[in-house]
Amino acid sequence: MLSLRFVFLFAVLSAFAVAAPAEHTHRVKETVLPPRGWTALRPASPAHTIEIRIGLPQPNFAELEDHLYAVSDPSSERYGGHLSKEEVEALVAPHPESVHLVEEWLASHGLLGDALSRSPAGDWVTVRVPVSLAEKMLDTTYHVWTHTASGTSLVRTTSYSLPEHLHAHIDVVQPTTTFSRFTPMRTTYQSFRANAAVPQSDGAKIAVPYASGGQIAASCNGTITPTCLLELYNATGYTPQVPGENKIAVTGYLEQYANYDDYHEFLEELVPYATDSTFSVVYINGKDSRTLRFEFLMVFPGGLNNQTPADAGIEADLDTQYAFSLTYPTPGTFYTTGGSPPFIPDDLEPTDSNEPYMQASESYALVWLEYVLAADDLPQSISTSYGDDEQTVPYSYATRVCSEFAQLGARGVSIMFSSGDGGVGDGDADPATQECYSNDGTNRTIFIPGFPASCPYVTAVGATSEVPEISAWFSGGGFSNYWARPSYQDVAVTKYLGELAPGTYAGLYNASGRAYPDVSAEGVNFTIVWDLETGLVDGTSCSSPTFTAFVSLLNDVRIASGKSALGFLNPLIYALNAGTVTGFNDITVGNNPGCGTEGFNATIGWDPVTGWGSPNFGILKELVLSA
């Protein structure tokens, strides 16, 4: 008969065996080819610290998507019945087995308790580790990579592995294989052009049938101001009715700071009735990954949104000046996501607390999105004027980011993204001559779709120019290689493709992919104040905050009438344009050259240059009340 001591010892050893799993064989989870222009300099310092985010599968995402379309389709009985934060989190929560196995794996590397942080739904786990440990966990080697043209540096690997038993329980681990640079969507061919004179109208008018009063100041054909946009998009005289209930926001990355002195100078010069306004800043600091307690503050001048004149960002100034002046007195929020400019870690500084580029840009979706998805109260309309080539973002990572936008849409938030400034190309060179190559090792010439504009759960905004409007030559547009065409686009996009000459651009684009942009707005010669100097800028960076402002005004109309906010816009936009009264100004002239081609053409109806066109607020405010 066994002694009690032996039985006790056997039980302890058995329990230890369960708590300490045996080593598992690693198998490659993901391998990518580095995008053109990136060069590996040297192995990363073992002591360099990186923040790793581990995405667990969302087994009920298809159900969330069904809910998203049900509350976003104006023909649905559930239209406008958005889900609560808790309902969305329940739908994206991982399976308990996935949670257990991932935590067991992390514990085997000494990562447990306060070393882990989790998203509210539990579908993301974040750890902060030295490169040496990340390499052991992922059976890989990190290198310092540099982007020749921009000088951007990253610590990345082109392949990583996971224990075989975890492959079904982990969707993605980043930063590992993502080389996206996530830059502002402001045309690189014309940056800020100083122009000290504030544009003045001499009283001359241009006839524009869809504008307020059927005409617009002739000066708007050379310089765009908030007054021009209110006139052009038939919103002159509308005053928001429920400021406070309705809110609008823009995002900022890469240490793009919105300067208050510039903002108030802009208002004094161009929007004098709004000179008493300001905007709030939410500073999202994702550095303390152990607690997931983001340091965020409602900050006014002199706070965490650096107000040194030299630090004013053209992008941030542009976004805040137009989004918030057009919607005055609707409260505006500028989200600034913590991070530092890229640096090259070396032997003297191997453990910089800011993983190169990670905090400020490429993982914006896992810092900014973690924050907003955890928040109870969100602005109903949010604009982002940043993006990159779709192919620089690994499919596994891109799909997870895109699914986060679906969650926001299901909660009633309208998300707008600039469609890009490279026409059908990538915007790194003159669109007429740029080289556009696939990143799959074949170096095929292809059109280069942009991300996140290509995500089917966001509204992509292209650019127009002149008055009356034609397409802006740089307006990004095309077809995703990652996402199939969503059903809300079937009729419109099939019609467009059917009218192309047979064989047009055969092999250069994915005709069955999600097509973009969805809409457009003016994007050339926007008057802004930067560093207390008045000047002009171009880009779909102008178009996205502009369109978002008119969405915010439409939300004001609905909320004032006791209705819900619009939420995910695309099913409504495409449904409206199937009718006889659309609420959009169709842009039929122009094209978006790139990759050595003339690109696609603007035409009657939807097109991959300007989408359905620009908004007519006067008509849309009646249409959205009947939706």
| Residue 549 · residue 620 · CB < 8 Å | no
Tell me which DSSP letter residue 607 carries.
B
Assigned token pair, 247 = 């809110």
What is the number of other CB atoms lying within 10 angstroms of the CB of residue 96? 9
List the beta bridge partners of residue 143.
43, 156
Q: Is 586 marked as binding a ligand? A: yes
| Residue 274 · residue 323 · CB < 8 Å | no
- Give the integer Cα–Cα distance in Å for 437 and 45: 32
List the beta bridge partners of residue 129.
50
Q: Which residue type is seen at 259?
A: N
Q: Which residue has the tokens 């030299």?
A: 310
- Give the integer Cα–Cα distance in Å for 22 and 29: 20
H runs (alpha helix) in 83-222: 85-92, 96-107, 131-138
| Residue 413 · residue 249 · CB < 8 Å | no
| Residue 183 · residue 426 · CB < 8 Å | no
Assigned token pair, 476 = 């990004």
- Give the integer Cα–Cα distance in Å for 489 and 569: 12
Reduced to 3 states, what is the DSSP secondary structure of residue 291?
A: coil
Which of 30, 265, 319, 538 is labelled catalytic?
319
Q: Is 605 marked as binding a ligand? A: yes
The yes-or-no answer on residue 315 being catalytic is: yes
Tell me which DSSP letter residue 563 carries.
P
Which of 541, 543, 544, 552 is labelled catalytic?
541
Cβ neighbourhood burial of 363 (10 Å; 0-12, 13-18, 19+)? buried
Minimal CA–CA distance to 36: which of 183, 141, 145? 145
The yes-or-no answer on residue 541 being catalytic is: yes
283: left (phi over 0), alpha (psi -120 to 50) or beta: beta
Beta strands in 424-532 (DSSP E): 450-451, 459-465, 470-471, 478-484, 513-516, 519-522, 526-530
Q: Which residue type is seen at 283?
A: Y
Which of 89, 135, 315, 469 is labelled catalytic?
315
Minimal CA–CA distance to 380: which of 408, 418, 407, 404? 408
Listed in sequence order, the residues at least 6 apart from 564 whose beta carbon sits closer than 8 Å to its beta carbon are: 80, 81, 82, 412, 558
User: How would you list the strands of the sheet with 49-55, edge to edge?
Assistant: 117-118, 124-130, 49-55, 172-174
Tell me which DSSP letter residue 20 carries.
S
Assigned token pair, 445 = 């010439």
What is the number of other CB atoms lying within 10 angstroms of the CB of residue 472? 30
Minimal CA–CA distance to 253: which of 142, 152, 334? 334
| Residue 154 · residue 345 · CB < 8 Å | no
Assigned token pair, 431 = 């669109």
| Residue 445 · residue 437 · CB < 8 Å | yes
Q: Which residue has the tokens 């079937």?
A: 490
> How many residues would you count in the chain?
627
What is the number of other CB atoms lying within 10 angstroms of the CB of residue 376? 7
Packing angle, helices 85-92 and 395-410, rounded to 10: 150
Active site residues: 315, 319, 541
* Residue ranges at the known binding site: 586-587, 605, 607
Annotated binding residues for Ca(2+), as ranges?
A: 586-587, 605, 607
